Copies of this chain bind each other. A is one copy, B any other.
Amino acid sequence: MTQATAGVDLGGTKIQAVVVSAGDVVGQARHPTPNTNAADVVAEIVASIHSALSDAGIGPSELRAIAIGSPGSVDVATGHVSKARNVPGFIDDVALGPEVSAAFGGTTVIVDNDVRAAVMGEFRQGAGRPFRNFIGVFVGTGVGGGLILEGELRHGAGNAGEIGHTTVKPGGRRCGCLRLGCLEAYAGRQSIEQTARVRLDKGQKTKLFEIMERKGRDRVTSSVIADALDQKDRLTVELVDEAVDALGLALANTQNLLDLEAIIVGGGLGDRLGEPFVRRIEQAMAANLRFPERPPVVLGTELGDLSGAVGATVLIEEWS
């Protein structure tokens, strides 16, 4: 009897699915997130799970449970999701868990916060394994964070870890959440893209959008940003410098408050820019530490793209 579980990481750009058996990833699939409506997104999640199952050579009937990490506000008890700005149709309430469960003949589906899933993935099976106290900060479309304190994921009243919406510059750049000066307004991929468009409109030169078009993309993806950086595109360098400074400041504040063992940097942009980006964030953080002689370890993720999907399957274990 196979005891396989499926994990899904729902993002604004892509849906990543994995099938895990006995702790190993035995199948995976990545589908683009439809930019239409909620029904299409749910159908694509179901399709991505089927693709990952095929990849694993496992039939749907052998799935013990499915776990989905979702952005937005997640009602863990009911599997409903809302207020996910980056996923089409997910600002309104979506019965994500029940709908995916129905598509798999009533298989158990749990839904939890995407970032908490990713942190649990790194904690149990990735870069966080040696630590009992760390923050995972995921720099992607937006910026999310999750805290492991004394070996436990911190939930708070349900919303702990929102480092992306801590203020790094009072009165600063407008964030997607409408407040000013959030970390996400400087380090989130979407905000970097929007800021670049505004600067371009104002006459600043940049190769960013040429690179985007050459790569056949309709948005400034992490790899577009990486290529522009490699080409030393001035605006991109400037915007990434600001992202690094903002991350350094927010992480130093976190460290000063919590005195953690480690900081793990991931997410689409974090993973793509990789080690040099992580080292720059470490330096920017060090300058703002209260006790710079005892800095936390700063490192990248081990699971990379799969942190969220693998982490979702970890949550099944934690829940059972």
Contacts and interface: CB of A to CB of B under 8 A. Distances in A.
A292 to B, nearest CB: 10
A257 B177 contact: no
Interface stretch (A36-44, A45-53, A150-158, A265-273): A150-158
Given A145-B257, A149-B149, A159 B249 contact: no
B259 A163 contact: no
A156 B260 CA distance: 6
Contact of A259 (B158, B170, B177): B158
A157 B261 contact: yes
A99 interface: no
B145 A252 contact: no
Interface in A229-261: 245, 249, 252-254, 256-261
Size class of the contact patch on chain A: 35 or more
| Identical chains in the assembly | 2
A313 to B, nearest CB: 25
B257 A170 contact: no
Contacts of A170: 168-169, 245, 249
Which of A133, A147, A149 counts the most chain B CB atoms within 10 A? A149
B257 A162 contact: yes
24 contacts: A147-B257, A147-B258, A149-B150, A149-B154, A154-B258, A154-B259, A156-B259, A157-B259, A157-B261, A158-B259, A159-B259, A159-B290, A161-B257, A162-B257, A162-B290, A163-B257, A165-B290, A166-B252, A166-B257, A167-B253, A167-B288, A168-B170, A179-B288, A253-B253
Contacts of A166: 252-253, 256-257
